[in-house]
Amino acid sequence: MGLMMLLLVINSPATLQTWMRAKYQHENIGTQQSAIQRLFQERFLSTDSPDTYEKRIQPLLLSVADNDATVLSFLKNHLSGDFYTWMKIANPAGIDAYFTNLKNIWLECNPAKVVRKVKLSKASAKQIWYCLTCKKVGHTKINCPKFKWTKKVNYVYQDEEEEDSKDSKKYIVEEKKDLKEEEIKDNE
């Protein structure tokens, strides 16, 4: 860097800016040849806006002169369809004019996204059930009170147990076995 500073006398803001661009490009991107190779591989995508495209391309153009015809032809070839035709008609003189014309063409073409308002139906929070047998609302065929269904338990059909009334009481009976009788049975 010291030798480079000795060879290059920075005596104006323009010279300083040129040196800073060249230094930035050399440190971050590489040589001008590699920058042009990367520039050749870029394209203006259908998802790009002129701003996103410029942000992606601008670091590759730091040490390139504004009126470089080769780079301008690369930039024009990035475009496709009507954009390419309109840019060829506009014939920008430099890189800055190219990006300005691209923004103007893009705005004239008006590739605004189509916004469609979709009205969602307001579905009720609770789903309404209809019985297929009695045509009443609130229950299904399985729970229909009109018919008494039998349950299949362990491959045997059983009628559903009726609910116990409040007056009835349940008793649990415990049987006490004689230990002596069990001992006798075991001994035999």
CB 53 within 8 A of CB 111: no
Question: Does residue 125 form part of some domain?
Answer: no
Q: How many domains does the chain have?
A: 1
Question: Does residue 100 form part of some domain?
Answer: yes
Question: Does residue 59 form part of some domain?
Answer: yes
Question: Residue 36 is part of which domain span?
Answer: 14-109
pLDDT given at position 61? 82
Helix (H) or strand (E) holding 159: strand 156-159
pTM of the model: 0.45
Conformation bin of residue 138: beta by default, left when phi > 0, alpha when psi is -120 to 50: left
Contacts of 133 (CB under 8 A, 6+ apart): 141, 144, 146, 147
Helices 82-90 and 95-109: angle between axes, nearest 10 degrees: 130
What is the average pLDDT across 151-172? 62
Computed from CA positions of residues 165, 166, 168, 171, in that sequence, does the dihedral angle turn out positive or negative?
A: positive
Q: Is the pLDDT of residue 121 over 80?
A: no
What is the average pLDDT across 32-61? 84
CB 57 within 8 A of CB 79: no
Give me 122's structure tokens: 């307001």
What is the average pLDDT across 141-164? 67
pLDDT given at position 156? 73
CB 32 within 8 A of CB 63: yes
Question: Does residue 118 form part of some domain?
Answer: no
Q: Could you report the per-residue pLDDT of 68-84, keeping only the tens digit for each?
A: 888 888 888 888 888 88
Q: Is the pLDDT of residue 25 over 60?
A: yes
The residue ranking higher by pLDDT, 109 or 29, is: 109
CB 112 within 8 A of CB 123: no
**CA neighbours closer than 13 Å in the CB half-sphere of residue 139:** 10
In the structure, what pLDDT confidence band is assigned to residue 3 with cuts at 50, 70 and 90?
very low
Computed from CA positions of residues 13, 19, 25, 31, in that sequence, does the dihedral angle turn out positive or negative?
A: positive
CB 160 within 8 A of CB 152: no
Question: Does residue 54 form part of some domain?
Answer: yes
What is the average pLDDT across 80-107? 89
CB 94 within 8 A of CB 66: yes
Q: Is the pLDDT of residue 108 over 50?
A: yes
CB 96 within 8 A of CB 76: no
pLDDT given at position 154? 76
